[in-house]
Amino acid sequence: MGQIAKTALQKKIECVNWVVLGAVTVVSFIFFPARYTLGILCGGLISILNYYWLAKDVAALLQRFSGSNGPNKPKRFILLRYCGRLVVTGGVLFIVITRIPVSVIGLFLGLSVVVVSFVLTVVIENVKNPLRRFKEKDASFVTFR
């Protein structure tokens, strides 16, 4: 099986992730203490790397179980991957909080970078072309391309 290609929206979200993290880090560097900026940078990097890891897991799930391999195997596969990602992310956050002098509020804001990027990208896409979904056959309110 070949590699699953990224959609244009996924590429935009990935780009906006880095732009938002860069902008928030620069503004924080100018106006806030170094601990706060470091927290935003660490949290942003953790959330973006977690997003890439999730995308890789979903692509692997779709490639591995695109055939008929039984009803329970995909559930176990994704559950194990999810739990592993959660444990690793929790461990990294624990190390960052206990070993690096970061602001927990800054870390929390940095962890929100991916969510802000999702919302920002979808709003921008829908403002640029609000009726694009209705031009396609079988269009729906919840389909984003």
Delimit the domains of the chain by residue range.
8-60+71-134
How many angstroms separate the CA atoms of 100 and 79, rounded?
31
Q: What percent of the chain has pLDDT over 90?
A: 50
How many angstroms separate the CA atoms of 17 and 47, rounded?
9
Those residues with Cβ within 8 angstroms of residue 133's Cβ, 6 or more apart along the chain or in another chain: 139, 140, 141, 143, 145
Report the pLDDT value the prediction gives residue 78, as an integer from 0 to 100.
78
How many angstroms separate the CA atoms of 114 and 45, rounded?
10
If pLDDT is split at 50, 70 and 90, which confidence band does 109 have?
A: very high
Mean pLDDT, range 119-137, rounded to an integer: 74
Q: How far is CA 57 from the centre of its chain?
A: 12
pLDDT reading at 94 higher than 90:
yes
Report the pLDDT value the prediction gives residue 135, as an integer from 0 to 100.
62
How many angstroms separate the CA atoms of 32 and 21, rounded?
15
